[in-house]
Chain A
Amino acid sequence: MMKSLSYPLSVVDSQIDIQLKAEPLSVMDCYNFVVDEHCGGIDLFVGTVRRWNKGHEITKLEFESYAPMALSELKKIANHAKAHFEAKKISIHHRIGTVGITEIAVVIAVSCKHRSAAFDTCAYLIDTLKEKVPIWKKEYKVDGSYWVNARP
């Protein structure tokens, strides 16, 4: 995980802001990035770390990423969303490293002219992130740790 920190951890232009961060995430940073005078709808998704998963108590999570590929996959997804859903601005911040219970793992903000496109874009972004972006979470429980979705 320390190795991935030596890569650049962000891709930012005037309309897309993608960051992998080892520090706590700010919902307002993402919100502020997407504010736009052409947009009447901003949708935010905030993914947090819950204590209970399938009846087991979680003590913390650890996120690892293949940073350069994660950034390029996220950029592809954001560009697709801009073209397909007519989203104006998109901000995606994902935490890496150790994350405690109730802390924020991911923030997605999107601005569109109207609300319906904003809802659709936000759902598309988080669903596709979970499916395609090379980021892995390890769950720590009282009785051990394991990589999520990786158990046979």
Chain B
Amino acid sequence: MLISFTFVNMKILCFGLAAEIIGQREYIISDEQPSTVEALRGHLLEQFPQFREYHPFMLAVNQVYALAEQQLSSNDEIAIIPPVSGG
């Protein structure tokens, strides 16, 4: 009997300074995926201590600024939004 399951990686888009700190444009989390926005923020601060200098940085879920307690799923489009500077 073939048992198959799909495991979906959590993919996080990185822009500007975030891409510079992480060293890539997409950051992938495969194990122990954070279940909330705040947990993801904690994960990033732990993996990339440089983010502490910019804490609290914003995160977006499905192209909308996310609240700390918001739930995350690997189907969401998640992005790190460092301090903006357009105009």
Which A residues are within 8 Å of any B CB, using their own CB?
3, 47, 63-66, 68-70, 72, 94, 105-106, 126, 129-138, 147-150, 152
Contact A66-B81, Cβ < 8 Å, known A72-B63, A129-B86, A136-B16: yes
Say whether B60 contacts A63, CB under 8 Å.
Answer: no
Chain A residue with Cβ nearest B13: A66
A70 to B54: give the CA distance in the assembly, Å.
21
What class of interface size applies to chain B in its complex with A? Answer: 20 to 34
Contact A147-B85, Cβ < 8 Å, known A3-B25, A136-B17: yes
Chain A residue with Cβ nearest B25: A3
Which B residues are within 8 Å of any A CB, using their own CB?
13, 15-17, 20, 25, 53-54, 60, 63-65, 79, 81-87
Instruction: List residues of chain B with CB within 8 A of the CB of A63.
Output: 86
A65 to B60: give the CA distance in the assembly, Å.
13
Instruction: List residues of chain A with CB within 8 A of the CB of B64.
Output: 69, 72
Instruction: List residues of chain B with CB within 8 A of the CB of A129.
Output: 86-87
* Chain B interface main SS type: mixed
Q: How far is the CB of B13 from chain A (nearest CB, A)?
A: 7
Q: How far is the CB of B72 from chain A (nearest CB, A)?
A: 16
A152 to B53: give the CA distance in the assembly, Å.
6
Instruction: List residues of chain A with CB within 8 A of the CB of B85.
Output: 130, 135-137, 147-150
Say whether B15 contacts A64, CB under 8 Å.
Answer: yes
Instruction: List residues of chain A with CB within 8 A of the CB of B82.
Output: 136, 147, 150
If A135-B84, A135-B85 are given as contacts, then 18 extra A-B residue pairs at C-beta distance below 8 Å, sorted by A number, are A64-B16, A66-B13, A66-B79, A72-B63, A129-B87, A130-B87, A133-B84, A133-B86, A134-B15, A134-B81, A137-B85, A137-B86, A148-B85, A149-B84, A150-B16, A150-B17, A150-B82, A152-B53
A5 to B82: give the CA distance in the assembly, Å.
20
A65 to B84: give the CA distance in the assembly, Å.
9
Q: 19 interchain pairs (CB within 8 A)?
A: A3-B25, A47-B87, A64-B16, A66-B15, A66-B81, A69-B79, A72-B64, A133-B84, A134-B84, A135-B84, A135-B85, A135-B87, A136-B16, A137-B85, A137-B86, A148-B85, A150-B54, A150-B83, A152-B53
